Structure 1
Amino acid sequence: MKTISNRNFLTISFALLIVLNLFLLGVLWFTRMQGPAPPFPPNQNHRPRDAGDIIARRLKLSNQQRIEFHKIREEHVRRTRHLMDQIHHLKEEILIESFAPNSDTARIAILAGEISEKQEDFELFLSKHFLELKKICTPKQRLMLKDIFNDVMERNKPPKFHPHKPAPPKRF
């Protein structure tokens, strides 16, 4: 008699645990389906991390070097932002032209040529920026600056393509 009641107790307990588990999984699933979680509130304790400040700190620039560095950086940002805006606008025009009822491939080619000219200007401004930064640095700082830019280039390198592995899903 005792075995039957123990067996019934275990069976009922097991069934209740399964039902409770399914209920909790359902709750989690439905709450997740309500949309993404709200973004974290902005951190009020710290100001946003500026790449220029990080580089200046890593290079241990003197006050005079910092002033020159920030002048050079502001000019670089001003010039490149304008170029990047122009490139973005040209790419939008290509997209619009590509989806027009009667796409003009000659116009698309002209726009692509304009983008390549702007990209060339961007790369030249970037090289000039590196040369100007190099001028204000000591030899030791130049090596550190080179390491910083190599790190950035490594992090921003496109992923390698492996034909035997599927490509990661794109995020839109």
Structure 2
Amino acid sequence: MKKYGWIIGILAVMNIVLLGIVWFGKPPHSGGQELTKFVEQNLKFTAEQSKQYDVLIGEHRKRIQEINEQTKEAKQAFFQLIAVPADTAKEKALTEQLAKLAIEKEMVTLNHFRKVRNSICTAEQKVLLDKLIDQVLERMSPQNHPPRPLQGIGGDPQAPPPPPRF
């Protein structure tokens, strides 16, 4: 019996660690702040530039959230069409709306970085941003976000809320 005591002790510790992971989960998603710091550090922004950058980021995020909400609504309307007879005119209109929203989202992001480059960056920082932009866009990519948990019809009240998407 004595030799099983240490095995039981290890199992008890593993259970406590596992319960801690389940109860407390991962820390909140901070990808936006990490990306902000990444840009600020790599471009070596001054305190004043960081303040200006924060304002531009706030404007960008607000507009992207608006577009994401419009996209969500358009997708819901589009996929509600499965329950009704085919209506190619309505399908075409909704797919065109989705395409316009996708284009608008990309244009908002392009114009955001143009503003950062042209209104905040020095000549040296512009060169750095031009080299860094691919890495920034990769970090902004939705593929870098964890998938949202499936919650079933009506959602599961016990499930944590899904992480925000930016």
Alignment length (residue pairs): 121
Q: 1:107 to 1:77 in 2, by over 3 A?
A: same
Q: 1:118 to 1:154 in 2, by over 3 A?
A: closer
**Paired amino acid for 2:37:** D
Q: 1:153 to 1:72 in 2, by over 3 A?
A: closer
Unaligned runs of 5+ in 2: 1-20, 144-149, 151-166
Could you tell me the TM-score, scaled by structure 2's length?
0.61
Task: State which of 131, 145, 152 in structure 1 corresponds to 2:114.
Answer: 131
Aligned residues of 2:56 and 2:112 also touching (Cα < 8 A)? yes
Q: Describe the superposition over 1:126-157 as per-residue Cα deviations: whole angstroms up to 9, x where unpaired.
A: 22111110021112212222222212445759
Aligned residues of 2:39 and 2:136 also touching (Cα < 8 A)? no
**Root mean square deviation, CA, Å:** 2.9
Task: State which of 12, 23, 30 in structure 2 corresponds to 1:48.
Answer: 30
Q: Which structure exhibits the higher relative contact order, with contacts defined as CA atoms closer than 8 Å and separated by 6 or more residues? A: 2
Q: Describe the superposition over 1:71-103 as per-residue Cα deviations: whole angstroms up to 9, x where unpaired.
A: 011001101110121112211211111x21413
Q: Describe the superposition over 1:18-44 as per-residue Cα deviations: whole angstroms up to 9, x where unpaired.
A: xxxxxxxxxxxxxxxxxxx84863449
What is the identity percentage for the equivalent residue pairs of Structure 1 and Structure 2? 21
Q: Are residue 77 (structure 1) and residue 84 (structure 2) matched?
A: no
4+ runs deviating over 3 angstroms: 37-44, 152-158
Q: Map 1:1-172 to 2 at 5 A.
A: 38=22, 41-43=25-27, 48-49=30-31, 50=33, 51-97=35-81, 99-135=82-118, 136-153=120-137, 156=141
Could you tell me the TM-score, scaled by structure 1's length?
0.59
Unaligned runs of 5+ in 1: 1-36, 159-171
